[in-house]
């Protein structure tokens, strides 16, 4: 059971309503949705409801998430593999609920999804760049750093920009996983997640 109230839009103050409108009217609402941003009464679902607790931080956080999803050089498959590695590390059922369908659409296999749920490196990745990106993500999640050799390999294979984007992705989705855990946000019962 969630620890936070889930207000309907009519109960939001002006700052909360501005954040709500940004989330529900931004790129997440315009693109394909694999989970609903709101319930039938307009309440925010998932991590977005928690952002209403502190609207200034919520704006910044949702903006970072939108930038990671819509403005990076990460292709959808690499992005979703990386997100699901974070979900595996944090055992985040809601992140899996929200991102496994997108990963499937991007060609991630059930075996690869099972590996990520177990927080292990998937086999049969598409190419050296994809493997390198996942090596970076797993190093960040396991060691909380890239040693000199791993950094040099990453820059040589995927470039500094993608290394930066992956560090931002890991930090953002780890923050969401922590908030989902602390506020006891679960995926909908019908999600069918493992």
Q: How many domains does the chain have?
A: 2
Is 194 within the bounds of a domain?
Answer: no
- Return the SS3 of 44: strand
Nearest to 131 by CA among 168, 78, 79: 78
178 and 116 fall within a common domain: yes
Would the pTM count as exceeding 0.85?
yes
Nearest-angstrom CA–CA distance, 172 and 179: 11
102 and 170 fall within a common domain: yes
Is 45 within the bounds of a domain?
Answer: yes
Helix, strand counts (H, E) of the chain: 9, 0
Is 1 within the bounds of a domain?
Answer: no
83 and 163 fall within a common domain: yes
CB half-sphere exposure, 185, CA atoms < 13 A = 24
99 and 174 fall within a common domain: yes
Task: Name the β-bridge partners of 44.
Answer: 38
Full domain range(s) for residue 96: 76-182
82 and 41 fall within a common domain: no
CB 74 within 8 A of CB 103: no
Q: Could you give the C-alpha distances from 112 to 62, 75, 121, in angstroms and in order?
A: 28, 17, 8
111 and 166 fall within a common domain: yes
Is 36 within the bounds of a domain?
Answer: yes
90 and 171 fall within a common domain: yes
Per-residue pLDDT of the chain (194 residues; tens, 9 = 90+): 789 999 999 999 999 999 999 999 988 888 667 778 999 999 999 999 999 999 999 999 999 999 999 999 999 999 999 999 999 999 999 999 999 999 999 999 999 999 999 999 998 998 999 999 999 999 999 999 999 999 999 999 999 999 999 999 999 999 999 999 999 998 876 543 33
Is 7 within the bounds of a domain?
Answer: no
CA angle 12, 45, 21 (to 5 degrees): 45
119 and 173 fall within a common domain: yes
128 and 94 fall within a common domain: yes
């Amino acid at each position: 059971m969630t620890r936070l109230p889930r207000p309907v839009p009519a109960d939001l103050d002006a700052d909360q309503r501005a954040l709500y409108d940004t989330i529900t009217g931004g790129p997440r609402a315009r693109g394909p949705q694999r989970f609903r941003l709101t319930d039938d009464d307009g309440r925010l679902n998932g991590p977005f409801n928690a952002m209403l607790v502190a609207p200034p931080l919520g704006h910044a956080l949702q903006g970072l998430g939108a930038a990671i999803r819509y403005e990076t050089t990460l292709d959808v498959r690499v992005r979703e593999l990386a997100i699901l590695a974070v979900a595996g590390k944090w055992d985040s059922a809601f992140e899996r609920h929200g991102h496994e369908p997108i990963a499937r659409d991007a060609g991630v296999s059930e075996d690869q999804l099972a590996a990520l749920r177990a927080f292990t490196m998937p086999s049969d990745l598409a190419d050296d760049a994809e493997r390198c990106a996942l090596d970076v993500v797993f190093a960040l999640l396991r060691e909380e750093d890239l040693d000199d050799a791993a950094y040099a390999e990453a820059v040589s294979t995927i470039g500094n920009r993608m290394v930066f984007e992956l560090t931002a992705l890991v930090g953002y989705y780890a923050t969401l996983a922590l908030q989902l855990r602390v506020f006891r946000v679960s995926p909908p019962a019908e999600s069918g997640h493992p």
